[in-house]
Chains A and B, each alone.
Chain A
Amino acid sequence: MKKPPAKLLIALAVLFVVQAFVSQSLLFPTWKKNYSTGELRIDRGLNADQLLASLAGLREMVAGILWVQTDQYFDTGQFDAVLPLIRLVTWLNPRQVEVYSTGAWHIAYNFTDEQNRSDRRYIPIALRLLEEGVQNNPNTYEMYFEVGWLYYHKIDDDYWQAVHWFEQSVEKKDILPARKGILFKAYEKNGQLDDSVSWLWKLQQEAEEQYARDGDNLSRVRRDTNERNLNNQLIRMTQRGVFGRRAGVYDQWPYDTHNPVDLNFTFSIRVIEPKVLRVTGTWGIPTTGARVRMQLFDEDYDLKWEPAPDLNFDRDKDRTFMQDELYTQNGRFDRKIDMSRNPNMYPFRAEKYKVVFSYNPRSAPAHIQDKIGWDGEGMTDQRYLKVSERYKNTDGKPGVRILYAEVELTRDQILMRGEYANGYVYNSPGYVPVEGTAGPEVVIPRSLRK
C-alpha cells in the first residue's frame, strides 16, 4: 500500500487545527450565549418518536408540536396533561418566551375551583417557571414584565417585587412603549410616590420627543395619555395631602383624608355544610369597588409569594389555602364559600385553620383611596386596624394602616364533626346580622359625605 503524500497529511493537520480553533474560540462562546438550549434534558417524558426527532436536531419542531397539543388540552379542560407538557416544551425550546408566559398564566390563573377561585398554592410554581424563563431569555423585556405582572395583578401584594421586575423590564431595548407605563402604578402601590412622578415625567418627555419627531396620531395619543397620567397623579397627591404633609400644613387644610372613616368592621362565619361557609359582614366603605380579602389556610402553612424550589405540582397537595375577594355593596358583604366540591384544592388535612380578613389601601381603587389615602390615614377601626411594616414608605412615614382580622377554626368545625355536627358560628364583636340582599347601590356624592 502506498504511503499518503506528506503534504496532504500536513494540510489535513492544519485544517484540523483551523476547524478546532474556529469551533472552540469563535463559535462555541457565541453559541452558548445565543443559541444554547440550556440543560440537556431531552430524555424525560418524550415518547419514542418525539425523542428520535429531538435527537435529530428537531427540538424546536417537537416543542412546537407539543405546544399545539398543550393548547388543545387546555381548551378541552384537561389541565393535568397541560403541566407536564409545558415543562417538556420549555426544556426542548427554552427560547420560546410565549410558552413561559402562557404556561405561567395557566398555572397561576386557570386552575380554579367551582366558584372560580384560583389555586394559589400554584403561584410559587408559576413564579418558578417565569424565573426559568428569565434565566433562559435574559435579554428580552417580556419575561421580566411577566414576573412583575404576576406580582402586580395576580398576587396583588408584595408590590416591591412588582417594582423590582418592572424596573428591569423597562431597561430592555425591546420593551414596547405602552408597557412602560405600568411601572408608575407599581411605584404608587409600593408607596414610592416621588418615583412614580419621576417615571411619569420621564415617559412624558419621551412621548413629547417622539411626537415632535413623528407627528403621527399614535405618538399624539401616547403623549396625551402620559400627560393625563402625570396630571392625575399630581392632582391626587395634592388632594390626598401628600404635599401638604411635607409642607407641614396638612392639618390646616380640608384634605379628603381628614376625619378618618370608621370602618367598624364586623364579620360572621357560619359553617352551613361541611366545607361550606357563609361569610357576612359590615364595614364603613359605602361604595362599590372595594373588596375585602379573605384567606383560609392551614394554621402552620406559610405560603410565600416566592418561586418554588422546583416545578413540583404535588408539593403542597396536602395543604389548604383559599383566597377570595369579598364583594361589598352598601357597606356589607355576604358570600357563600363552597369548598366541598374541590377536595384536591381544599383537602383539609390540618387540625387548625386561620381565617384572615384584610384590606390594604394600596390595593384600593382610586375613588376609595381619595378618602382613605394611600397609607390608610383616612380610615380607622377600633378593633382591627393594624400598622403593617410589610408596606413601608420611602418618605420616613410609618407603615401602612391596613384592616386585619384573624380568627381560628378547627377541622371539626369546618367539617361539622363531633360537637359541631349541627354547624358552627363565629360572630366578631359588635357583629350586626346581615339579612337579605344588599339592595341597590347607594352612592353618596362627595358633597354629602361627612
Chain B
Amino acid sequence: MNQIIAIAATTVGEAIRRRVLLIILMVGLAFLIIAPSLNELSPRGQQQTLIDISIGILRITAAILAVTLTVYLLPNEVERRTIYTILSKPVYRYQFLVGKYLGSVIALALMIGLMTLVVILAFGIQQQTWSLDKLAPLIKVPFMMIFQMSLLAAVSMTFSTFVTPVINFFLSGLVWIFGTLINPIFERWGAEGQASDAISLIARVAHYAVPNFSNLDIAQGAASAATTQIRGSEAVYMMNGIIYAVVYSAILIVIAVLVFDRKEL
C-alpha cells in the first residue's frame, strides 16, 4: 500500500507542476468574457444560462485534462526509462499502475475543485448572490464530474497500456462521446419496438457494457431552474452514481493491470 501511495503522491506532484494553473485561469477568464454578454436576458434566464455555460466550460476542460493527464502517464515513464528504476525496486506492476491512476484522479479532483472555486467566485461576484440555493448546481454538478472524469481517466489509462498516446486520445474521446450519449441512445432505441431487433440489441448490449458517463451527469436536473422537478432523492441517485463510477473504474483498472502485467517493456 505504501508503494501505491508513494507513486500516487509523485503523480500528483508531476501533474501539479504542469501548467495547470494556467488552464484554471483560462476558465475564469472565459467566464468573465461570457458573463457580460448575457446581460440582455431576463435575470432568471441569465442565471440559468450562466450556470449552463459555466458547467459546460468546466466539463470540457475537465474532460481534456482527464485524457491528457492519463494518456502520457505510462508512455512517458517508458520513454524516459524511469519505469525500469521503479520496477527494479520492490514494486509490483499492478501497484505502479494503481498508484499512477490514483495520483491522476487526485490531481483531477484538485483541478476540478480549483476550477469550481473560480467559477463559484466569479458567479457570486457577477450575480451578487451567495445563496446556497443558487450556488448548489455549481457545487453538485462538479462534484459528480470528479467521478465522471475519474471514469474517463480509467478509460484512458486502460488504453494507454496497449495503444500510442495519439490513438489513445482519439479512442478516449470516442468513448467519452458515446458514453455521454448512451442513456439517450438506449432510451430512444433500446426498448422493444422502438427500432429493428438488431439495433435494439446493439443499444441494449452497449448500455450494459460501455462506460456510462450520462449516468453521472446531473446537470439537467441540478442546473435547471426548478430543482423541484427532481423526483426521488437526488442524494441517493448521486450515491449510486459514485458506486457505479468506482466499480466501473475498478473493472477498467483490472483490465489495464492484466494487459500491463503481460506487456514486454
Show the binding face of A for B, using Cβ within 8 Å. Answer: 1-2, 4, 8, 11-12, 15-16, 18-20, 22-24, 26-28, 30-37, 39-40, 53, 55-58, 60-65, 67-68, 71-72, 75, 93, 95-98, 102, 137, 139-140, 142, 172-174
Q: Is the CB of B241 within 8 A of A27?
A: yes
Check B157 for interface membership: any CB of A closer than 8 A: no
Q: Is the CB of B228 within 8 A of A173?
A: yes
Interface of A: prevailing SS: helix
Given known A27-B241, A67-B41, contact A93–B228 (CB-CB < 8 A): no
Q: Size of chain B's interface in residues, with CB distance under 8 A? A: 65
User: Which residues from B are CB-within-8-Å of A93?
Assistant: 52, 220
User: Which residues from B are CB-within-8-Å of A61?
Assistant: 52-53, 55-57, 59-60
Given known A64-B49, A64-B53, contact A11–B254 (CB-CB < 8 A): yes
Q: B246-258 CB contact bits vs A (8 Å, 1 = yes)?
A: 0110110011011
Q: Is the CB of A8 within 8 A of B232?
A: no
Compute how far the CA of A37 lies from the CA of B188 in the bound complex, rounded to whole angstroms. 11
Of B70-78, B79-87, B173-181, the one contacting chain A is B173-181
Show the binding face of B for A, using Cβ within 8 Å. Answer: 37-38, 40-42, 44-45, 48-50, 52-53, 55-57, 59-60, 63, 173, 176-177, 180-181, 183-188, 207-208, 212-215, 217-221, 223-226, 228-232, 234, 237, 240-241, 243-244, 247-248, 250-251, 254-255, 257-258, 261-262
Q: Is the CB of B220 within 8 A of A34?
A: yes
Query: Would you list the 3 A-B pairs with minimal beta carbon distance, nearest first?
Result: A61-B56, A57-B180, A64-B52
Q: Is the CB of A22 within 8 A of B243?
A: yes
Indicate which residue in B45, B56, B232 contacts A33 across the interface (CB closer than 8 Å).
B232
Compute how far the CA of A30 lies from the CA of B220 in the bound complex, rounded to whole angstroms. 12
User: Which residues from B are CB-within-8-Å of A72?
Assistant: 40
Q: Is the CB of B187 within 8 A of A60?
A: no
Compute how far the CA of A55 lies from the CA of B177 in the bound complex, rounded to whole angstroms. 6
**Nearest Cβ in chain B — how far from A356, in angstroms?**
37
Indicate which residue in A4, A23, A27, A32 contacts B187 across the interface (CB closer than 8 Å).
A32
User: Which residues from A are CB-within-8-Å of B45?
Assistant: 67, 71, 98, 102
User: Which residues from A are CB-within-8-Å of B248?
Assistant: 19
Indicate which residue in B48, B220, B241, B250 contacts A15 across the interface (CB closer than 8 Å).
B250
User: Which residues from B are CB-within-8-Å of A172?
Assistant: 228
**Nearest Cβ in chain A — how far from B123, in angstroms?**
14
Q: Indicate the member of A18, A102, A137 with the most B CB atoms within 10 Å.
A: A18
Q: Is the CB of A95 within 8 A of B56?
A: no
Q: Is the CB of B226 within 8 A of A97?
A: yes
User: Which residues from A are CB-within-8-Å of B237?
Assistant: 27, 30-31, 34
**Nearest Cβ in chain B — how far from A58, in angstroms?**
5
User: Which residues from B are CB-within-8-Å of A62?
Assistant: 56
Q: Is the CB of B251 within 8 A of A36?
A: no
User: Which residues from B are CB-within-8-Å of A68?
Assistant: 37-38, 40-41, 49
Indicate which residue in A27, A60, A67, A174 contacts B56 across the interface (CB closer than 8 Å).
A60
Looking across the interface, which residue of chain A has its beta carbon closest to that of B204? Answer: A24
Given known A19-B248, A60-B219, contact A140–B177 (CB-CB < 8 A): no
Given known A67-B41, A139-B228, contact A12–B251 (CB-CB < 8 A): yes
**Nearest Cβ in chain B — how far from A106, in angstroms?**
13
User: Which residues from B are CB-within-8-Å of A96?
Assistant: 48, 52, 224-225
Indicate which residue in A34, A40, A97 contacts B225 across the interface (CB closer than 8 Å).
A97
**Nearest Cβ in chain A — how far from B160, in angstroms?**
19
Q: Is the CB of A56 within 8 A of B188?
A: no
User: Which residues from A are CB-within-8-Å of B181?
Assistant: 40, 55
Given known A61-B56, A96-B225, A140-B226, contact A12–B254 (CB-CB < 8 A): yes
- The contact sample of 6 A-B pairs, CB cut-off 8 A, is A34-B232, A35-B218, A55-B180, A56-B176, A56-B180, A60-B223
User: Which residues from A are CB-within-8-Å of B220?
Assistant: 34-37, 60, 93, 95
Q: Is the CB of A36 within 8 A of B187?
A: yes
User: Which residues from A are CB-within-8-Å of B186?
Assistant: 28
Compute how far the CA of A330 lies from the CA of B212 in the bound complex, rounded to whole angstroms. 71
User: Which residues from B are CB-within-8-Å of A36?
Assistant: 183-184, 187, 220
Compute how far the CA of A382 lies from the CA of B247 in the bound complex, rounded to whole angstroms. 82
Looking across the interface, which residue of chain A has its beta carbon closest to that of B181? Answer: A55
User: Which residues from A are CB-within-8-Å of B234?
Assistant: 34
**Nearest Cβ in chain A — how far from B115, in angstroms?**
15
Indicate which residue in A4, A19, A34, A95 contacts B231 across the interface (CB closer than 8 Å).
A34
Q: Is the CB of B41 within 8 A of A137?
A: no
Q: Is the CB of B230 within 8 A of A56?
A: no
Given known A31-B183, A33-B231, A102-B45, contact A57–B213 (CB-CB < 8 A): yes
**Nearest Cβ in chain A — how far from B149, in angstroms?**
11
Q: Is the CB of A24 within 8 A of B49?
A: no
Compute how far the CA of A211 lies from the CA of B126 in the bound complex, rounded to whole angstroms. 35
